[in-house]
Chains A and B, each alone.
Chain A
Amino acid sequence: MRTIATYNIKGGVGKTATAVNLGYLASRDDLRVLLWDLDPQAAATFLLRIKPRVKGGGSALIKGSRELDEAIRGTDFEGLDLLPADFTFRNLDLMLDATKKPTQRLARLLRPLAGAYDMVFLDCPPGISLLSESVLHAADTVLVPLIPTTLSIRTLEQLTEFLSGFAGHTPQLLAFFSMIDRRKRLHREIAERLPAERPDVAKTAIPALSQIEQMAVRRAPVPAFAPRGLAARSYASLWEEVRARAL
C-alpha cells in the first residue's frame, strides 16, 4: 500500500481537487484506493456526495476505539472508497497530542488497511501542525500543489528544509503547478523554469479552469463528468507522472 498526501501550508491551491481527481484516476487503473479527508471543511467528502460524519468523531479514530475500516464509505465510483471528514477534525491536533508518539499515529492507524487497499490519498488541511507532521510521516509521497508565485515557491523550500530534518523514513516530495493562469507572464515563466531546475517539480501543470470549479456543482471528479476536457487530460498527465514516481 502506497500513501500519497496532498499538502501545502497555503490553502486554496487545489489540494482537494488533486486528491479527488488522482484518487479517481488511480481507481480507474484498477488500484484499490482509499481517500481520507482530514480537512474539517470536508470538501472532498462533499465532492463525493458523502455525509461529513464519523461515528464517535475524530477522537474515536485517533484513539483507535473505532477502526478506520468501520468509518469507510463506498463512493459512486468502483474502486474508490472514502474515509469522510467530520467537523471534530478541527481538533485533530489536540487529539493527536494526547496520544503517544503523535507523529507516528496516522501511519499506525493506516497499517491494518494495507491488505485492502493499494493506494491511500491523504487530503490535508493547510498549515503546519502536529497533524501535518503526522501526515508527512505516514506518506510515501507528498504532492504539493503550487501557485506559480514567488511566495508560493518559498513555501516549497520551507517544506523541503523541514523534511530534511526527518530521521528515518522521509517521504518523496513532488511539487506541481496548479491553478496556472497562462495569461500571466509570471505564471508562465515560473512554470517553465522551475521543473527544469528542480527534479522534484513535475512537468505537468494544472491550469486554472472552470471545469475544475465545476466539480463542486457536479459533485464528481473531473474525468467522470468531462473526460475529454483539458482539465481531465491535465490530471491524467499528472497522474502518469505521480504513478511513475510513486509506484
Chain B
Amino acid sequence: MTGVGVVVLTLPQDFVLGDGLEPAPEELQAALEPRFSVVRAGRSRTVRRTWLDTFDWRLHRAGLTLELVTGRGHGQLVLTAAGGERLTEPANGVRWPALATALPPGPVRARLADITEERALLPAVRVVSSVASLRARNADDKTVAWLTVDSSAAAPSRARLPPRLTVAPVRGYQAQADRIAAMLARVSGVEPVRAPQLDAALAAVGRHPGDYTGKIDVELTAGMPARLAVAALLLRLLGTLEANVAGTVRDTDTEFLHDLRVAVRRTRSALKLAGSALPGGLAAEFGPEFKWLGDATTPTRDLDVYLLGYPEMAASLSSATPAELAPFHDYLVARREQERQRLVRALRSRRFQTLATSWRDALTGLTAPRRGGPGKGGTAKGGTAKGGTAEKLASVVIRKAHRRVLTLGGSITDGSPSERLHDLRKRCKELRYALEFFASLCDPAGHQQAVRELKDLQDVLGRFQDCQVQQHEIRQIAAAMGAAGQVPVTALLAMGDLSAQIGRAERRARRQFAARFGEFASDAGRQRFRSLTPGGRP
C-alpha cells in the first residue's frame, strides 16, 4: 500500500452492492480463484467521511468530488475526478470551512484553487462508515490490491447507504488490480458505481448535488397569469436571499454577501419593472424595505470588492512598494469588520425577520390555489400587465427596459457627467435582470447573444463605476487616517500612487464606452431584442 500521505495518482474501482450483499472474504475468494487469494486485514474500523464543496457546488460542476476522510487520528483529503483518477493528500489541522489557499501546498490545493477561487470549501454532508479491509494477493502471496467493503450511514440522520466495494491497487500493481475488479464485476449483485457516493449520502439527508444556484432557474410558461409568474420569480429570489443569510453572518466567504445582495437588487428591479402585475400596494409596501436591506449590504460589499482586488492593485504600483501600502490594507480590513458587524446586526434584526416572513406570506398567498375563482390580486383592473399573461409581461418589461438603456445611452457624450454613466449602469442591470427573469420564455439563441452584448457594455460601465467608488474611498480613507494620526507618509504616497493607477483605469473605461455602446445599439442588436419574445416579434 502506498505510504501515508504520499501524493499518488491511482485508479481505484468502486462497486455498489445489492441489498443485503455484504460479501464474506470466502465469497470474494471464490470469485477470484485460482489467480488471487483474499485474506482479512485486521478488524473493521470506523471512518468518518465529510464531502466538501463550495456553497454553489463548483467542484460538482467541474466533475470533481472532495472527501475529507478521518480515522485513526489522520485526516486525508481525497480528490476524485469524473474519470476515476484520485489524488490523496494529508489534511491535518485544517479548520473548515476553508479557502483552497488554506490547504497544505500540493497537487490537491493546486487543482482546487482555480476552481473554487474566492469561495470557501465547506461540509456538504457527513457519513460514518464501518470499513472492512481485505488483501487481494497474487500467486506469490504479495498483496496487489486492497478490497474495502464500506457500510455507511449519513450523519446525523443515520439513514443507511448502499454498501460499497472498492478495489484499490497497491502502487505498481494497477494491471492486477484491474483484473481483480473485472472478475468481481461478474459476481451477481456487484454493480459498477454509476454515481458518486456523495449523491447517495445527500439523498439520505434530503438533498442533491447542485441544490443551490444563484441563477434564476424558474420555468415560466407563456400562458400563465403574469401575477403568478412574478410571484414565482420573487419567491425564488427570496429563497436565494435566505439561503445566503447564515453564510453572510458567519462570514464564511465573501460570495454569500454577494449573492444575497444580488437577490435583493433583483427583487427591487422585479418590483420596479413588473410590480404592476402584483395586487395593488404590494410593490409600494415592500419596495422601501428592500431598499433598506440593499443599503445595509453596500458598505461591506464595496470593501470586499476593494480587498479582493487588492493584491492586483498593490502589484500594479509604479513608484511605491506593496509594503508601503500595508497600513491602507490594514485600515480596509478594520473598516470592513466594523461595517460587517453593522450588517450582521441588520440581518439579525426584527425588521429583517419581519420583512422575510411577511414577504413570503404575501407571495405564497398569491401563488396558492384559490377557491371560487380569482382571489387576492386576481382581479384584473386596468394595466396591461396585471391581467395579462407571462409572455405579454415579458415582452413589455424587456422592451421598456431596453428602450430606457438606448435612450439614456444615446444621450451620453464624451463631455457628459459621470452620474449619467452610473444611471446607465443601473438601467443596464435592470435590463439584464429582465432578461434573466424571462429567459425561459425567450428564444434561447437570441437570448444568449443579447445577454453577451449587454454584458460587454456592463463590463465597461462596471469598471468605470468601481474605479470611481475606489478613488472616492481612497480620498476619504486618507483623510480619516490622517485625522487619526500615526499614518506613515510613505503609506499616503503609496495611496496616491494607487489612486493614480485607478484614475488611469477609469479613463480607459470611459474611452471604451462609446465603442461598446455603439455595438450594443446597432440595428442588428435592436432587432435581436425585438425578436426575443413572441410578443415582440413582428
Q: For chain B, what secondary structure do more than half of its interface residues adopt (helix, strand, loop), or is it mixed? A: loop
Binding site for B on A (CB under 8 A): 27, 30, 32-34, 49-51, 72-81, 115-117, 219
The docked-state distance in angstroms from the alpha carbon of A73 to that of B173 is 8
Q: Is B407 an interface residue (CB 8 A)?
A: no
Contact present for B142 and A49 (CB under 8 Å)? yes
Q: Is B323 an interface residue (CB 8 A)?
A: no
The docked-state distance in angstroms from the alpha carbon of A77 to that of B170 is 10
Closest Cβ–Cβ distance, residue A132 to chain B (whole Å): 27
13 of the cross-chain contacts (CB-CB < 8 Å) are A27-B4, A30-B4, A32-B6, A33-B3, A49-B141, A49-B143, A72-B172, A73-B172, A74-B2, A74-B171, A78-B1, A80-B3, A81-B3
Chain A residues with Cβ below 8 Å from B141 are: 49, 219
Contact present for A76 and B1 (CB under 8 Å)? yes
Chain A residues with Cβ below 8 Å from B1 are: 74-79
Please list the 5 inter-chain residue pairs (A to B) with the smallest Cβ-Cβ separation, ordered nearest first. A74-B171, A32-B3, A73-B172, A74-B170, A49-B142
Closest Cβ–Cβ distance, residue B8 to chain A (whole Å): 8
Contact present for A116 and B170 (CB under 8 Å)? no
Contact present for B142 and A50 (CB under 8 Å)? yes
Contact present for A81 and B171 (CB under 8 Å)? yes
Contact present for A81 and B2 (CB under 8 Å)? yes
Chain B residues with Cβ below 8 Å from A75 are: 1, 170
Closest Cβ–Cβ distance, residue A53 to chain B (whole Å): 11
Chain A residues with Cβ below 8 Å from B143 are: 49, 74, 76
Chain A residues with Cβ below 8 Å from B84 are: none
Closest Cβ–Cβ distance, residue B176 to chain A (whole Å): 12
Select B3's contact among A50, A51, A117, beta carbons within 8 Å: A117
Closest Cβ–Cβ distance, residue A240 to chain B (whole Å): 20
Q: Is B7 an interface residue (CB 8 A)?
A: yes
Q: Is B135 an interface residue (CB 8 A)?
A: yes
Chain B residues with Cβ below 8 Å from A78 are: 1-4
Contact present for A79 and B171 (CB under 8 Å)? no
Chain B residues with Cβ below 8 Å from A80 are: 3
Contact present for B4 and A117 (CB under 8 Å)? no
The docked-state distance in angstroms from the alpha carbon of A219 to that of B142 is 10
The listed residue with most A CB atoms (<10 A of its CB), out of B2, B3, B140, B172, is: B3
Closest to A51 in B: B140
Chain A residues with Cβ below 8 Å from B170 are: 73-76
The docked-state distance in angstroms from the alpha carbon of A140 to that of B135 is 35
The docked-state distance in angstroms from the alpha carbon of A75 to that of B74 is 21
Select A79's contact among B4, B135, B142, beta carbons within 8 Å: B4
Chain B positions 366 through 377: 1 when the CB is less than 8 Å from some CB of chain A, otherwise 0: 000000000000
Closest Cβ–Cβ distance, residue A181 to chain B (whole Å): 32
The docked-state distance in angstroms from the alpha carbon of A115 to that of B6 is 8
Chain B residues with Cβ below 8 Å from A76 are: 1, 135, 142-143, 170
Contact present for B172 and A49 (CB under 8 Å)? no
Chain B residues with Cβ below 8 Å from A34 are: 3
Chain B positions 131 through 143: 1 when the CB is less than 8 Å from some CB of chain A, otherwise 0: 0000100001111
Q: Is B71 an interface residue (CB 8 A)?
A: no
Closest to B8 in A: A116
Chain A residues with Cβ below 8 Å from B173 are: 73-74
Closest to A33 in B: B3
Contact present for B140 and A79 (CB under 8 Å)? no
Closest to A27 in B: B3
The docked-state distance in angstroms from the alpha carbon of A117 to that of B140 is 27
Closest Cβ–Cβ distance, residue B90 to chain A (whole Å): 10
Chain A residues with Cβ below 8 Å from B142 are: 49-50, 76
The docked-state distance in angstroms from the alpha carbon of A169 to that of B173 is 37
Q: Is B5 an interface residue (CB 8 A)?
A: yes
Name B3-33 residues within 8 Å CB distance of A: 3-7
The listed residue with most A CB atoms (<10 A of its CB), out of B6, B135, B140, is: B6
The docked-state distance in angstroms from the alpha carbon of A34 to that of B171 is 12
Closest to B72 in A: A30
Contacts A76-B1, A76-B142, A77-B1 given; does A116 touch B6 at CB 8 Å: yes
Chain B residues with Cβ below 8 Å from A74 are: 1-2, 143, 170-173
Chain A residues with Cβ below 8 Å from B171 are: 72-74, 81
Closest Cβ–Cβ distance, residue A184 to chain B (whole Å): 37
Contacts A50-B142, A72-B171 given; does A117 touch B6 at CB 8 Å: yes
8 additional A-B pairs beyond A32-B6, A75-B170, A81-B6, beta carbons within 8 Å, are A33-B3, A49-B140, A76-B142, A76-B170, A78-B2, A81-B171, A116-B3, A117-B6
Chain B residues with Cβ below 8 Å from A73 are: 170-173
The docked-state distance in angstroms from the alpha carbon of A32 to that of B140 is 25
Closest to A219 in B: B141
Closest Cβ–Cβ distance, residue A187 to chain B (whole Å): 36
Chain A residues with Cβ below 8 Å from B5 are: 32
Chain B residues with Cβ below 8 Å from A72 are: 171-172
Closest to B2 in A: A74
Closest Cβ–Cβ distance, residue A55 to chain B (whole Å): 11
Closest Cβ–Cβ distance, residue A54 to chain B (whole Å): 11
Closest to B5 in A: A32
The docked-state distance in angstroms from the alpha carbon of A130 to that of B46 is 50
Chain B residues with Cβ below 8 Å from A27 are: 3-4
The docked-state distance in angstroms from the alpha carbon of A78 to that of B6 is 11
Closest Cβ–Cβ distance, residue B444 to chain A (whole Å): 49
The docked-state distance in angstroms from the alpha carbon of A116 to that of B2 is 10
The docked-state distance in angstroms from the alpha carbon of A76 to that of B137 is 9
The docked-state distance in angstroms from the alpha carbon of A75 to that of B171 is 8
Chain A residues with Cβ below 8 Å from B3 are: 27, 32-34, 78-81, 116-117
Closest Cβ–Cβ distance, residue A158 to chain B (whole Å): 36
Chain B residues with Cβ below 8 Å from A117 are: 3, 6
Closest Cβ–Cβ distance, residue B170 to chain A (whole Å): 4
The docked-state distance in angstroms from the alpha carbon of A108 to that of B171 is 23
The docked-state distance in angstroms from the alpha carbon of A217 to that of B6 is 30
Chain A residues with Cβ below 8 Å from B2 are: 74, 78, 81
Chain B residues with Cβ below 8 Å from A219 are: 141
Closest to B7 in A: A116
The docked-state distance in angstroms from the alpha carbon of A33 to that of B173 is 18
The docked-state distance in angstroms from the alpha carbon of A27 to that of B5 is 11
Closest Cβ–Cβ distance, residue B145 to chain A (whole Å): 10
Chain B residues with Cβ below 8 Å from A51 are: 140
The docked-state distance in angstroms from the alpha carbon of A113 to that of B74 is 22
Closest Cβ–Cβ distance, residue A224 to chain B (whole Å): 12
Closest Cβ–Cβ distance, residue A103 to chain B (whole Å): 28
Closest to B133 in A: A78
Closest to B74 in A: A30
Chain A residues with Cβ below 8 Å from B135 are: 76
Contact present for A32 and B4 (CB under 8 Å)? yes
Chain B residues with Cβ below 8 Å from A77 are: 1
Name B155-200 residues within 8 Å CB distance of A: 170-173
The listed residue with most B CB atoms (<10 A of its CB), out of A77, A78, A117, is: A78
The docked-state distance in angstroms from the alpha carbon of A30 to that of B3 is 9
Chain A residues with Cβ below 8 Å from B6 are: 32, 81, 116-117
Chain A residues with Cβ below 8 Å from B4 are: 27, 30, 32, 78-79
The docked-state distance in angstroms from the alpha carbon of A81 to that of B8 is 12
Chain B residues with Cβ below 8 Å from A116 are: 3, 6-7
